[in-house]
Structure 1
Amino acid sequence: MPGSSLWLVPPEDSELYKAIHDLIINHVPSLYTGTIPQFTPHITLTSDVTVPESGPQQWLDGIQIPDTKELKVAVRDVEVGSIFFKKITMRCDKTPELCQLAASCRAAGVQGLDAQGAQKWAEEQYLPHCSLISSLPGDEVTAKLDAVNKTVREAKRHYPDSHTAKGGLILLVSTHKPIEEWAPIATRQLPGMEWTWQT
């Protein structure tokens, strides 16, 4: 994936984060064979980000983002896709507030793109989701979709308070590196937002 990415992440101390993290690291990969890359639970706000040399934290703190007190992210049903990082995802509601946040991040991070172009991208192309797995043949994914859904339901029961979470953060991640080297290089807190898990 070229450039860096901005991720929207649930609070790491929330049961929502712990449940999805458990799915990504342990339970969903156990349904398949081979080595499967692991990553932080997140919704990608935008990729193709060029970070200025002034410093990643200063740059992230300086992005003009809309007020997130009205931002509510709803995580929903499991879906199968064909793209590498959309093999198995949990779809998220595409709300105006989430689109505004994604557009603000994209306008700030993608060179040569203005606010109007970023908003058009958010409205027409942005598909918010939370990935659970990647790098598998599509037919193998589809064949085990029922097992994945069962595993997701079990994880939600195991973390009974995972249906909601308050707050979140934006991570700037160097996703142009191999997956094993993905790590946040800057963080910004979003204390007012809310999450619901409606799978």
Structure 2
Amino acid sequence: MPGSSLWLTPPPTNPLYPILPKLISSTLPAKFPSEAASSPRVTPHFFAPHMTLTSDVSPSVYGSNPQAWLDAIPFPSAASVKVKFGKVKSQEAFYRRCYISVGYEGVKDLAGVARARGVFDEADEHGEKTKEWLEWWRKEFGPHVSLM
């Protein structure tokens, strides 16, 4: 996908902060070595634990000062964002080989405003394109934290 992505990452004070990177970088790869994988294209990829809020943000949107652009987005308050983990699941899609599902309701406004501002040039999560995208995201992609 061209462009940038916006991620929600656990803060260092979160109890999961030390656990998720260990799962991603050592625990799971040790349990599923690449030569035993179901597909030769599946090899360990190490990445920061995150939930993708949106992707395809064109660099022209944030220009030469991405931090100023981020600071200007009216994200919901941290108190209103409720990341509720669901089950550990697996699918054939590369980015969902092994993941933890995340409850949609707790993160939809955060993802919505990220998509509205980053991709659709809408003011907030209530714009028509953003509402349509949120429904697609919920059904087809679903909020999740990739583990492998």
Q: Fold conserved (TM > 0.5)? A: yes
Deviations 1:140-176 (A, max 9, x none): xxxxxxxxxxxxxxxxxxxxxxxxxxxxxxxxxxxxx
TM-score by length of 1: 0.61
1:22 & 1:13 partners in 2: Cα distance? Answer: 16
Q: Is the 8 A contact 1:80 1:86 kept in 2?
A: yes
> Does structure 1 residue 47 correspond to structure 2 residue 55?
yes
Whole-Å separation in 1 of the counterparts to 2:91 and 2:99: 8
Aligned equivalent of 2:86, options 76, 94, 102: 76
Show structure 2 runs of 5+ residues with no match.
35-42
1:124 aligned onto 2:108: no
1:14 alignment partner in structure 2? 14
- CA distance in structure 1 between the partners assigned to 2:80 and 2:137 by the alignment: 22
1:47-196 correspondence runs (5 A) = 47-51=55-59, 52-95=62-105, 97-110=106-119, 112=120, 114=122, 115-126=127-138, 127-133=142-148
Distance 1:83 1:56 in 2: 30
Give CA-to-partner distance per residue, 1:98-125, whole Å, 9 cap, x none.
1111010011111x45332112211332
1: CA distance between counterparts of 2:118 and 2:27?
34
> Structure 1: 5+ residue runs without aligned partners?
134-199
Equivalent residue number for residue 5 of structure 1? 5
- Contact 2:7–2:51 under 8 Å retained in 1: yes
User: Paired residue for 1:28?
Assistant: 28
CA distance in 2, matches of 1:36, 1:20: 15
8 Å contact kept, 1:88–1:132: yes
Query: Does 1 or 2 have the higher relative contact order (CA < 8 Å, sep 6+)?
Result: 1
Label 1:40 to 1:27 Cα distance change in 2 as closer, same or farther (>3 A).
Answer: same
Give the share of equivalent positions with the same residue, in percent.
Answer: 37
Partner of 2:38: none
Higher strand share: 1
Give the aligned length.
131
Return the alpha-carbon distance in structure 2 between the equivalents of residues 76 and 19 of structure 1: 16
Judging by fraction of residues, say which structure has more helix. 2
Provide the aligned C-alpha RMSD in A: 1.6
